[in-house]
Structure 1
Amino acid sequence: MKGIKMFLNKACIIAGLIFLLTSCNQNKDYRISEPVNQNQALQDLYINDINECKFFTAQLSVSKNRDSLEFYFLKARNSFKKVEPILSFHDINNYNFLNAPNILKVEEEDLTDIKINNPQSFQTLEELIFTDQLDVESIHKTSNIIASRLELLSKNSDLSYYQPYHILWMVRKQILRTATTGVTGFDSPVLENSLDDAVTAFAKTEQILSLYSSKFKELPLENRWHTHFQKAKTFLQSTDFNHFNRYEFITNHIDPILKLWTATAKDWKVDFPMELAIKNEATSLFSNETLSLEYFAKTTQLSSNDRQVALGKQLFNDSNLSSTKSISCATCHIEQLAFTDGISKPIGLTRNSPTLTYSAYQQGFFYDKRAGSLEGQIVSVINNSNEFHSDLKSFTKAIETDSSYVNQFKTAYNVTINQQTVRKAIADYVRSLNEWDSKWDKNIRGEQNDLTASEINGFNLFNGKAKCATCHFAPVFNGTVPPDYMDTEMEHLGVPESPVVSNGRIDPDLGRYDVFKTENRKHFFKTPTIRNIELTAPYMHNGVYQTLEEVVDFYNRGGGYGIGIIDQEYQTLPTEPLNLSQEEMDDIINFMKTLTDARFID
């Protein structure tokens, strides 16, 4: 699978702060320079790698025969992976441009500002070159555009202001990218060259860290970095893409490096000015201490306590707050079903009720992403004539008339009831529905050791041959793209209106199209989490599939294309079947069932 990229112009507050910390127009508060030899060495390394990449890319623009094109592409791609650790941190917009999937890029700012662009990236080149029919003109055009972009980068990049925390963030970002997208084939869809790419990027990351060796107070700590990098690179080179043990890679290499990273931050006495999507104290990829809820809530002052969560839960379950006094949030989101309702579509509504567990880790809410926050989603539900059939003012007034609620709000929030605190209370409860204590989480953190061979193989297939993880990204396994988590992707899978295996007809729901009327956004829907998926049947936005076996079979056949839906040109799944065996499909399902939170297991 390959998700569609939505590069939004208005990034969230914290994403904007990330940009301020890493852009050329850095605020002076953060521009206290490192000793010139270190940051100058980093600058020289970066520019040299960019120029090498530019040279090989420029050769593509004059090459005409297949052998030459393939040769120079592999050289250029390898050079780009050397550039990646610094570029992806320093200039995320240019990195995303150069590494974009070969699918239309759509920017929907509002109804008057919609941009649709064809990608001109290394992934574009990969698909143009490694194909049966060469389009040399398009290859040359794309190569020239990439080379020109690299030329601008070589002339306009300034790393002189970087602080030690920049370097540590940069190093960690590359480590996490490798674990979450790098080894999945996310940005090497044809060649599946991900493992070699990871070796190159890891080698460059180690080189970057070595430039700042004087920061280490403890020499053994620096030596441990070298040992871990060497072991990780050896492991990456030990097998091919389809047989690579990603579970072992995370448990034996990625998580130990994250622990080493936090130890290094202490050794360097780094004072981080803020937290990014990944918390500065994170020591595991799969933990409730990994991702920052503040980041996703777009605030640096998110806080909630047990009283606030309990109040939000009471509001969530209170049917007296609807106009008919018969519907609550829990009507469609039943706790025992991982906050779904077990039916294809609630009465009066057009889409399946998704799980609310882990829903806090998204950039966009509802299947069509029409709401930008949990609070916004709550208001929309209150206003919906087929749900609460109310408005926030009336909803709040109903709460104000209950003396028990008045006292609870005063105790929990130390404020009187108002529209903002009502929304926040319910949102705080929903943000608490992230347990991180499934069988999977406990095993990968080393707290227990009872995963079966089938479950581990299912994870490796999910992240490899089956290509599930190119849309459902670890650790949340939703469409929010790591390691920056700035966008939650949408897909056009070709979901049918009925569960057929041939002669399928596309479900009539137009999805994202209904928000901005963008023609090539018809039938696009947000990629949800698969955590607790064992409990959340039926599946897909229309609830068309009753079992996980049906879902996996749909993907194995090639999605909509594979069941005869061939009139939808913007489908985002490959046209070819996955060719998974029955045993492999069973293994994937067994893995997904390990993602059930402990609270739901008897």
Structure 2
Amino acid sequence: MNSYLTKNIRKGVYVFINLFALSIISCNEVKKKEETIEITLGEQIEKKYTHELIKCQAYTDSLSKSTSRENFAKYYLKSRAIFKQMEPIMAFHDAENYKFLNAPNILKVEEEDATNIKILSPKSFQVLEETIYADSLEVTTIKNTAELIRNRLKLIEKNTKLSYFKNHHFLWLLRDAVLRVSQTGITGFDSPVLEQSLEEATIVYKSLKEYLDFAKTKFKNKALYTNWVNEINATLKSLESVKFNEFDRYNFIKNHTHKQLDLFNKTVEDWSVEFPFTLALNNNAPSLFSGKTFNPKYYSDAKNIGYSKKVVALGRDLFNDKGLSKDGSMSCATCHVKEKAFTDGMVKPKGQLRNSPTLTYASLQQNFFYDNRAGSLEGQIVAVVKNDSEFHTNLETLQKVVEENSNYKVRFDSIYEGEVTDYTVRNAIAEYIRSLNKFNSKFDLNITGKENSLTTNEINGFNLFMGKAKCATCHFAPVFNGTVPTLYKDTEMELLGVPAKNDTINALVDADLGRYYFYKTEERKHFFKTPTIRNIELTAPYMHNGVYTTLEEVIDFYNRGGGAGIGIDLELQTLPPDPLGLTDEEQKNLIHFLKTLTDKS
């Protein structure tokens, strides 16, 4: 064989061998890719979640077919435990179904507009808990509720796909679960009768431990994963063998929740995660009680240009300018005095129906006014401008007054590129109000470890607030208003049965019908928004009508069971009517805590 032919045969063999090798490598890569697809984090979680959904269906099915209180209780506890195992996934991935299944046993009213109002009776685990453990057994209600829950779980199972999960989804759900436990899970919010919140928090953390095991390979820093495991084990230990009323919630949040937020931020860095957007909480929030925790833009108009010192300074001047009112006698500061935490110390301002609420932390909610009728701070200002007892003018005049002020005109030219409109005027004032979220109270500085000055009585007061006194089931930490964690979208309204006068013998409900005036929905009579209680030491008198002048009177009202406890019979009262049973010392400790929420500035 000549050398030319030999050379080409060898060349062909080499090419064949190389092609064969490449095909093997390619097949191996495809195989590896297929194996990777088979064990993605999302699918691992989906497998666990689906199994739990099926198991929960089985227990609720058994519950719906039971006839005795013993079996009702048995299958309720089993199904509820599985529901809590699923909670981190369902609450994140399927928030509306989670809200449906975990809803309080209170009539739900949805008011989209005057032509679309829905009155819904809840069918949830909380309904089961309250009916199964009630003095008289409502068998039909229990069976129907259990059957509806089972059907809803079946529907969720059929429509669950978690393969879309990316690293940032996993980290978001991890953080949400941690915060949910600290803000509602340990307060009795969704276990009002049995108060098995600590046991349920244990179930949640055990579930999180499993999810973290699924994600173990994602940690570049293996010590970080170990730190997570150790921290969850320590958290579980802190939750075990402690009675509901004796649990130290202050140290739980300080030493566990905040440590887990720190681990979360370190994991974000370790995994090189970039979040696609920011919701109510900043993605790098260092703690629950920090000025860097919340994202105020989440609650503001899409046109909002954002926070800056220049905008805030302009807004502050407009806020204090009486020239914006028709007769030059009133500014925003007339009813919202800085030294009184932006209230006015009056029962009701002249000509007004209700007490002036604080503007501190007001921006961290979706709705405004006691009846929730405005959807933004900018929108709320419109009502003030047009109100006959306040500015008594209109938006066109407001704009003209500002335009004709040379000082304002120069500043608007600089900040809003020459646009003096009614919106930019309102936006500047709103931005000033958004700057009033200081998170620098004595309590904030202590729970974040910057100070160590809280007294035992103050800490006991916080633990009562978050536990036995049930305050935190309506006033959610850290803002202590009615905006429900962890989505922070819905601002709750409550029917407390507030009396017209400070009278516990012949009490009559206050005549103000609250939310009812907005859509004339009968089931919304006497409903009012749950406001923040931060700076409450400075904001007397209290309640929407200013009926109580001291914190002692407020605590006494709640301790008696609200309106029901002083003889006001309102069918839809959302506050549990049973007395709290707080001792005199416990009531004093609650007030000690409340006073630690006063901002330093």
Q: Aligned residue for 1:247? A: 250
Q: Aligned residue for 1:331? A: 334
The alignment partner of 2:39 has SS state of: helix
Q: CA deviation at 1:218?
A: 0.6
Whole-angstrom distance in 1 between the partners of 2:496 and 2:396:
39
Residue 178 in 1 paired to residue 154 in 2? no
Whole-angstrom distance in 2 between the partners of 1:476 and 1:35:
42
After superposition, residues 473-492 of structure 1 pair within 5 angstroms as: 473-492=476-495
Q: Aligned residue for 2:596? A: 594
- With over 3 angstroms needed to count, the CA separation of the structure-2 counterparts of 1:279 and 1:365, relative to structure 1, is same
Whole-angstrom distance in 2 between the partners of 1:444 and 1:410:
43
Select the residue among 316, 319, 325 that pairs with 2:319: 316
Q: Which whole-Å deviations, capped at 9, do the CAs of 1:488-511 have from their partners, x for residues lacking one?
A: 000010000000112210000000
Larger radius of gyration: 2
After superposition, residues 46-445 of structure 1 pair within 5 angstroms as: 46-297=49-300, 299=302, 302-445=305-448
Whole-angstrom distance in 2 between the partners of 1:495 and 1:186:
22
Whole-angstrom distance in 2 between the partners of 1:432 and 1:183:
31
AA of the residue aligned to 1:355: T
The alignment partner of 1:546 has SS state of: coil
The alignment partner of 1:554 has SS state of: helix
Whole-angstrom distance in 1 between the partners of 2:576 and 2:333:
37
Q: CA deviation at 1:238?
A: 3.8
Q: Aligned residue for 2:47? A: 44
Whole-angstrom distance in 1 between the partners of 2:293 and 2:307:
17
Q: Which whole-Å deviations, capped at 9, do the CAs of 1:48-82 have from their partners, x for residues lacking one?
A: 01111111111110111111111110001000001
Q: Which whole-Å deviations, capped at 9, do the CAs of 1:515-567 have from their partners, x for residues lacking one?
A: 0100010000000000000000000000000000000000001100011101x
Q: CA deviation at 1:298?
A: 5.2
Query: Contact conserved, 2:304 with 2:427, CA < 8 A, in 1?
Result: no
Whole-angstrom distance in 2 between the partners of 1:36 and 1:418:
57
- With over 3 angstroms needed to count, the CA separation of the structure-2 counterparts of 1:507 and 1:466, relative to structure 1, is same
Whole-angstrom distance in 2 between the partners of 1:392 and 1:577:
48
Which 5+ residue runs of structure 2 have no aligned equivalent? 1-34
Whole-angstrom distance in 2 between the partners of 1:357 and 1:138:
43
Q: CA deviation at 1:41?
A: 1.2
Q: Which whole-Å deviations, capped at 9, do the CAs of 1:81-130 have from their partners, x for residues lacking one?
A: 01101000011110000000000111001110000010000000000101
AA of the residue aligned to 1:261: F
Which 10-residue stretch deviates more, 447-456 or 277-286? 277-286
Whole-angstrom distance in 2 between the partners of 1:256 and 1:164:
21
- With over 3 angstroms needed to count, the CA separation of the structure-2 counterparts of 1:262 and 1:34, relative to structure 1, is farther
Whole-angstrom distance in 2 between the partners of 1:230 and 1:598:
37
In the comparison of the two structures, how many residue pairs are matched?
Answer: 566
The alignment partner of 1:372 has SS state of: coil
Which 5+ residue runs of structure 1 have no aligned equivalent? 1-32
AA of the residue aligned to 1:396: Q
Whole-angstrom distance in 2 between the partners of 1:232 and 1:36:
32
Q: Which whole-Å deviations, capped at 9, do the CAs of 1:256-311 have from their partners, x for residues lacking one?
A: 00000000011000111011211111121100111111112254965121111000
Whole-angstrom distance in 2 between the partners of 1:507 and 1:40:
55
Q: Aligned residue for 1:465? A: 468
Whole-angstrom distance in 1 between the partners of 2:406 and 2:128:
65
Query: Contact conserved, 1:34 with 1:160, CA < 8 A, in 2?
Result: no
Q: Aligned residue for 2:5? A: none
Query: Contact conserved, 1:103 with 1:119, CA < 8 A, in 2?
Result: yes
Whole-angstrom distance in 2 between the partners of 1:202 and 1:82:
9
The alignment partner of 2:478 has SS state of: coil
- With over 3 angstroms needed to count, the CA separation of the structure-2 counterparts of 1:579 and 1:323, relative to structure 1, is same
Query: Contact conserved, 2:202 with 2:239, CA < 8 A, in 1?
Result: yes
Q: CA deviation at 1:414?
A: 2.7
Whole-angstrom distance in 1 between the partners of 2:36 and 2:371:
45
Q: Aligned residue for 2:554? A: 551
Query: Contact conserved, 2:409 with 2:418, CA < 8 A, in 1?
Result: no
Whole-angstrom distance in 2 between the partners of 1:592 and 1:329:
26
Whole-angstrom distance in 1 between the partners of 2:84 and 2:481:
25
Q: CA deviation at 1:35?
A: 3.8
- With over 3 angstroms needed to count, the CA separation of the structure-2 counterparts of 1:118 and 1:328, relative to structure 1, is same
Query: Contact conserved, 1:339 with 1:356, CA < 8 A, in 2?
Result: yes
Query: Contact conserved, 1:102 with 1:127, CA < 8 A, in 2?
Result: yes
Which 10-residue stretch deviates more, 300-309 or 78-87? 300-309
Whole-angstrom distance in 2 between the partners of 1:34 and 1:94:
30
Q: CA deviation at 1:455?
A: 0.3
Query: Contact conserved, 1:357 with 1:430, CA < 8 A, in 2?
Result: yes
- With over 3 angstroms needed to count, the CA separation of the structure-2 counterparts of 1:302 and 1:220, relative to structure 1, is farther
The alignment partner of 2:593 has SS state of: helix
The alignment partner of 2:118 has SS state of: strand
The alignment partner of 1:290 has SS state of: coil
- With over 3 angstroms needed to count, the CA separation of the structure-2 counterparts of 1:367 and 1:135, relative to structure 1, is same
Query: Contact conserved, 2:355 with 2:544, CA < 8 A, in 1?
Result: yes
The alignment partner of 1:106 has SS state of: strand
Q: CA deviation at 1:413?
A: 2.8
The alignment partner of 2:111 has SS state of: strand
Identical pairs, percent: 54
Which 10-residue stretch deviates more, 289-298 or 118-127? 289-298
Whole-angstrom distance in 1 between the partners of 2:424 and 2:414:
12
- With over 3 angstroms needed to count, the CA separation of the structure-2 counterparts of 1:324 and 1:205, relative to structure 1, is same
Whole-angstrom distance in 1 between the partners of 2:254 and 2:471:
20
Query: Contact conserved, 1:41 with 1:211, CA < 8 A, in 2?
Result: yes
Whole-angstrom distance in 2 between the partners of 1:256 and 1:300:
36
Task: Calculate the aligned-residue CA RMSD, in Å.
Answer: 1.1
Whole-angstrom distance in 2 between the partners of 1:254 and 1:350:
41
Q: Which whole-Å deviations, capped at 9, do the CAs of 1:179-232 have from their partners, x for residues lacking one?
A: 000000000000001000000011111211221111100100000000010000
Query: Contact conserved, 1:34 with 1:163, CA < 8 A, in 2?
Result: no
Whole-angstrom distance in 1 between the partners of 2:43 and 2:420:
55
AA of the residue aligned to 1:449: N
The alignment partner of 1:107 has SS state of: strand
AA of the residue aligned to 1:383: K
